Amino acid sequence: MSNKAIVYREVGEGSGFFLLLALFGAIMAVGALAFFHMEHEGHHVTGMNNQVVWGLPHVFAIFLIVAASGALNVGSIGTVFRKPLYQPMGRLSALVAIALLLGGLAVLVLDLGRPDRLIVAMTHYNFRSIFAWNIILYNGFLALAGLYIWTMMDRKLKALYPYAGFAAFSWRLILTMGTGSIFGFLVVRQFYDSAIMAPLFIAMSFALGLAVFILVLYASFAFTGRPLGDRVLNRLRYLLAVFIGAVLFLELMRHLAGLYVARRHGVEQFILSDGGIYTQLFWVGQVFLGALVPLSLIFCRRLAGNHLSLLVACVLVILGGFAQLYVILIGGQAYPLELFPNATVESRFFDGRISDYVPSVWELMLGLGGVALSLLVVTIGVRILRFLPVSLSDEVLGSDHP
Amino acid sequence: MSDRLQPVTAGHPNQVDTYRRRFMAGITGAAAMATLAPGIILREAGAAGVDVTPRSPEQPVTSTVRWGMLIDVERLSDGGEAMVAACRNEHGWGDDPEASPAQQAQWIRTVKVTDKLTQHSFTLPVMCQHCEKPPCVDVCPTGASMKRADGIVQVNKHICIGCRYCMMACPYKARSFVHEPLTDQRPHSPRGMGTVESCNLCVHRIDAGQLPACAEAAPHAVIFGDLNDPDSRISQAVRELGGTQIRADLALNTGVRYLNI
């Protein structure tokens, strides 16, 4: 449990709170408008088609879902790995996790062809489907993260705290494994079809979730005038670097394996060299801006203790994560299916051709609506319950928080 | 030429025989095709419809039957365009007013295949291959993507939520998503907006004792029937002539088989 010296308090009812509510509410309204338009007109108003069947909404949804499980990590490090420095952030960590998951699920569900049949998805399960398992994992995650928060806030449940923390941590690992396996189990798509998708998504969740968490932590402390010391920020800063490195390593292994296997040469060449927007997003977005620049910002000695450089690194990691998911999702679909190995194929149905995909504004609106929902939940959460410590200054954390 | 008639043991494809058959077919070329194989196909297909008997609504579908289709690509002078046209007419897809070309449905299409090395080329119709182990059924979260007991793979339009995961999983790009509200649909083939659809082997026709529309449109090149019945014309034909699967490496054991690809 968190140190006794840590005091938690709700955010005050200032104009900033209502301003944020209005802002996020407005973006959500825009997202809702996009949903109703797509639901009424059908998906022909989107850029998605019968070749690229998952588009920008799925990039947003999977980003938020993956980041959700990663955001819980901060709490888990305190609870499961018993690092006292992280324990005061456990409540916020679980709140951000729940908020991100709700946002991601909202986008995912509202993009369905038949969102009105959500109840069908809840009542008809095909247990061979990793997608069906994910539905169960998402719901379980929400329940466990809620229980975890409860044990952190209610002294009467203090005895359950380590168990709830361990359960939530285990569950989140399985959840992200499941999300990665949605792609890893797609045997026929050459860019997916690999067990490495599960650990890759777990590593991505660590990096993306932590980046989002740092930004939320910093913003909420800055907006409410609460002190946030360098010890916490530096610890999170170097943790972020480890996670960025893990993602890079797994991506390296994935592409090296792809380059080694003859039947994957085509798709690897497409993504790494000939893929136009996908190649640019991979090298410039994901690798350079999303990993190398943040690592430089984190390890540059001149920037040690510089808050702005950490915040920029976090923003870049998030943008890099979007680029990475865009390349995986859209790039992986844009490359044609291989009907006949060692042969070229052509048809009226775009066989053998790189598929075009240009996201529509409706898809962007829906995705941003999901982000706004996540931020709205955090904003309301810290207003009505004691999620935020009054201070995380170096003095408050003291020597009890190595 | 007698090698072409050597039976291949079911479930244990004899590779030597396969290679020998291909080799013989290669050297005898057009002569072989003009005499023996087409003769069998033509003769069998000439009696089209005999293998399909009507089923009353009370009569359950059983797994004693496995519907399948054998398509002789060399006998499709149009590459299968007539089959595509028959399917479009039967199910009413392919002309959705709002959809972009990439968003149009395509239950069956003709694909031109050219070997990169030899430049040997052929055109074949590709639709749902009605796999014994369909990936689309495995991945569907609600079970809407389903395989009927008689081997027909189709979408239960009542519980499809439109997630499109089956489209991601299908190796044959056989599935389409309905991108807009539709009117004037065929009563026997509803196409609901926001759901996924694909070839269902004209299940409504099979249950009424008729051939699938595409098979009827190419009687000289297609045999349709029960793969589980060793005496059916399709079973005899695949036993005699083989029946190649597209992406056989995926081990899906497709119900749609091809000759001369």
| Per-residue confidence band for B57, with pLDDT thresholds at 50, 70 and 90 | confident
Q: How far is A152 from chain B (nearest CA, A)?
A: 35
HEC string of chain A? CCCCCCCECCCCCCHHHHHHHHHHHHHHHHHHHHHHHHHHHCHHHCCCCCCCCCCHHHHHHHHHHHHHHHHCHHHHHHHCCCCHHHHHHHHHHHHHHHHHHHHHHHHHHHCCCCHHHHHHHHHCCCCCCHHHHHHHHHHHHHHHHHHHHHHHHCHHHHHHHHHHHHHHHHHHHHHHHHHHHHHHCCCCCCCCCCCCHHHHHHHHHHHHHHHHHHHHHHHHHHHCCCCECHHHHHHHHHHHHHHHHHHHHHHHHHHHHHHHCHHHHHHHHHHHHHCCHHHHHHHHHHHHHHHHHHHHHHHCHHHCCCHHHHHHHHHHHHHHHHHHHHHHHHHHHHCCCCCCCCEEEEECCCCCCCCCCCCCHHHHHHHHHHHHHHHHHHHHHHHHCCCCECCECHHHHCCCCC
Quick count: other Cβ atoms within 10 Å of Cβ B97?
Answer: 9
Q: Looking at chain B, which residue has its C-alpha nearest residue A127? A: B141
Domains detected in chain A: 15-246+359-397 (1.20.1630)
Q: How far is B50 from chain A (nearest CA, A)?
A: 33
Query: Is the pLDDT reported for residue B29 higher than 90?
Result: no
Residue A127 sits at the chain B interface (C-beta within 8 Å): no
Q: What is the DSSP letter of B244?
A: B
pLDDT tens digits, one per residue of B144-167: 999 999 999 999 999 999 999 999
Give dist(CA A393, CA B221) in Å, integer.
Answer: 80
Which pLDDT belongs to residue A304? 85
Predicted TM-score (pTM) of the model is 0.91
C-beta atoms of A185 and B139 within 8 A: yes
More confident residue, B130 or B39: B130
Q: Looking at chain B, which residue has its C-alpha nearest residue A37? A: B180
Which pLDDT belongs to residue B44? 46
C-beta atoms of A113 and B170 within 8 A: no
Q: Looking at chain B, which residue has its C-alpha nearest residue A46? A: B179
Give dist(CA A306, CA A35) in Å, integer.
Answer: 41
Residue A51 sits at the chain B interface (C-beta within 8 Å): yes
| Per-residue confidence band for B6, with pLDDT thresholds at 50, 70 and 90 | very low
Q: List CB contacts (< 8 A) between B183 and chain A.
A: none
Query: Is the pLDDT reported for residue B16 higher than 70?
Result: no
What's at B238, amino acid-wise?
V
Residue to substitute from B118, B120, B123, B168, interface A, most A β-carbons within 10 A: B168
* Nearest-CB residue to B162 (from A112, A125, A339): A112
Q: How many CB pairs under 8 A join A and B?
A: 176
pLDDT tens digits, one per residue of A71-94: 999 999 999 999 999 999 999 999
Which pLDDT belongs to residue A137? 95
Which pLDDT belongs to residue B21? 53
Residue to substitute from B140, B179, B249, B252, interface A, most A β-carbons within 10 A: B179
| Per-residue confidence band for B48, with pLDDT thresholds at 50, 70 and 90 | very low
Query: Is the pLDDT reported for residue B59 higher than 90?
Result: no
| Per-residue confidence band for B18, with pLDDT thresholds at 50, 70 and 90 | low
* Nearest-CB residue to A345 (from B112, B170, B175): B112
Query: Is the pLDDT reported for residue B10 higher than 60?
Result: no
Query: Is the pLDDT reported for residue B76 higher than 50?
Result: yes
Q: Which residues of B55-75 are buried (b: 16+ CB within 10 A; e: fewer)?
A: beeeeeeeeebbbbbbbbbbb
| Per-residue confidence band for B55, with pLDDT thresholds at 50, 70 and 90 | confident
Domains detected in chain B: 2-259 (3.30.70.20)
Residue A156 sits at the chain B interface (C-beta within 8 Å): no
Q: Looking at chain B, which residue has its C-alpha nearest residue A116? A: B161
Q: How far is A176 from chain B (nearest CA, A)?
A: 17
Average pLDDT over chain B, rounded to an integer: 86
Q: List CB contacts (< 8 A) between A350 and chain B.
A: 102
- Of all residues in chain B, the percent with pLDDT exceeding 90 is 75
Q: Looking at chain A, which residue has its C-alpha nearest residue B261? A: A340
C-beta atoms of B195 and A114 within 8 A: yes
pLDDT tens digits, one per residue of B182-194: 998 999 999 999 9
Q: List CB contacts (< 8 A) between A338 and chain B.
A: 247
Low-confidence ranges of chain A (pLDDT < 70): 1-4, 399-402
